[in-house]
């Protein structure tokens, strides 16, 4: 039987693994609620991860790395917005192009800047996010059950983990309790009605892809400067696509997105901790355990796409009536 500390370690790893997924999932949530499908989340995260690690390595300041990550991701979001909103191009093709662009550019620039095969130097000290110890964590640690939960599970995470968790209620409030959120959701359902009311559909959709860029930038920065200590080639490892699967599973709702991303994070934590297990006397390959999040992604996309109803105007460019 696993003791309490072992369970807490798995849950702690779950939160860490779920953080970039949650940020990317919320990014896609804002974009798709406004009618802009974005499968370029993977590319934005990857580009942000590279620039976060690169600028943190140059300056020794992780906050400058975070700023660089957000700017890089916003640039790709602007590119996606120009292609799909201004020029009314195919949103899926634009997203695929962003993924290819990020995969190539990060390696080429990384090799030119650092001559390490596309990697950045290892980050340390002020060059990466350190764990935050919450108030009274050390004092409460000896308290049975509740102490370890607070000290080991709730306390001791990167600042961006708490930022990601705070974005969940903030996203819910913005989308469902503000005029901006009402208009944003309306643009994804019936852009003609919004246009008739005198509100700019183009502006609202650019706001949405801008928010998407900021959140993907934070997600990428966390990957390279919080979860890891530098950038390596393709380090996003399909998390952008997993975030899209979580978004479908969550039916485009912030709180459901949190639960879905925690599920994916839990599977990744289980796969990392139990490299080899036996079921009914049969050894389960370690590769299968590590592939659990990706297997769930396929299952969700195969079984839930038809049941989850996306915004009605999603994926369609809006042509203003004259």
C-alpha span between 212 and 29 (Å, rounded)? 8
Q: Going residue by residue through the chain (322 aa), what tens digit of pLDDT does each one get? A: 457 788 888 999 999 999 999 999 999 999 999 999 999 999 999 999 999 999 999 999 999 999 999 999 999 999 999 999 999 999 999 999 999 999 999 999 999 999 988 899 999 999 999 999 998 888 888 888 888 888 889 999 999 999 999 999 999 999 999 999 999 999 999 999 999 888 999 999 999 999 999 999 999 999 999 999 999 999 998 999 999 989 988 989 999 999 999 999 998 888 887 766 665 556 666 677 778 788 877 777 776 655 677 888 888 888 776 5
In 3D, which of 123, 111, 97, 114 has the Cα closest to residue 43? 97
C-alpha span between 182 and 52 (Å, rounded)? 33
C-alpha span between 91 and 317 (Å, rounded)? 8
Kindly list the domain boundaries of the chain, sorted by start residue: 19-236
CB 166 within 8 A of CB 20: no
Q: Hey, which bits of 174-317 come out as E strands? A: 277-279, 282-284
Residues 6+ positions from 16 with CB-CB distance below 8 Å: 157, 158, 161, 227, 265, 269
C-alpha span between 95 and 38 (Å, rounded)? 6
User: What are the two backbone dihedrals, phi and then psi, of residue 279, each rounded to the nearest 5 degrees?
Assistant: -120, 120
C-alpha span between 21 and 214 (Å, rounded)? 14
In 3D, which of 81, 16, 20 has the Cα closest to residue 52? 20
C-alpha span between 20 and 129 (Å, rounded)? 14
């Amino acid at each position: 039987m696993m003791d309490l500390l072992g369970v807490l370690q798995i849950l702690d790893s779950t939160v860490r693994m779920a953080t970039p997924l949650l940020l990317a999932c919320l990014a896609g949530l804002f974009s798709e609620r406004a009618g802009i499908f974005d499968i370029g989340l993977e590319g934005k995260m990857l580009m942000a991860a590279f620039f976060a690690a690169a600028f943190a390595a140059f300056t020794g300041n992780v906050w400058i790395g975070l700023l660089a990550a957000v700017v890089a991701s916003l640039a790709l979001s602007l590119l996606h917005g120009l292609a799909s909103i201004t020029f009314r191009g195919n949103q899926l093709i634009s997203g695929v192009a962003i993924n290819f662009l990020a995969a190539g550019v990060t390696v080429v620039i990384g090799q030119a800047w650092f001559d390490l095969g596309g990697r950045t130097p290892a980050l340390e000290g002020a060059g990466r996010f350190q764990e935050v110890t919450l108030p009274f964590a050390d004092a409460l640690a000896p308290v049975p059950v509740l102490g370890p939960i607070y000290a080991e599970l709730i306390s001791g995470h990167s600042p961006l983990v708490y930022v990601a968790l705070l974005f969940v209620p903030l996203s819910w409030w913005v989308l469902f309790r503000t005029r901006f959120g009402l208009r944003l959701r309306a643009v994804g359902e019936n852009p003609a009605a919004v246009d008739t009311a005198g509100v700019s559909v183009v502006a609202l959709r650019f706001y949405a892809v801008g928010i998407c860029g900021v959140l993907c930038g934070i997600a990428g920065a966390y990957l390279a400067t919080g979860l890891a200590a530098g950038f390596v080639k393709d380090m996003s490892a399909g998390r952008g696509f997993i975030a899209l699967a979580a978004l479908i599973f969550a039916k485009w709702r912030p709180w459901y997105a949190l639960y879905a991303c925690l599920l994916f994070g839990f599977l990744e934590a289980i796969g990392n901790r139990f490299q080899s297990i036996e079921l009914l006397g049969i050894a389960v390959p370690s590769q299968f355990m590590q592939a659990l999040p990706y297997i769930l992604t396929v299952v969700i996309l195969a079984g839930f796409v038809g049941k989850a109803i996306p915004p009605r105007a999603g994926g369609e460019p809006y042509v203003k009536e004259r």
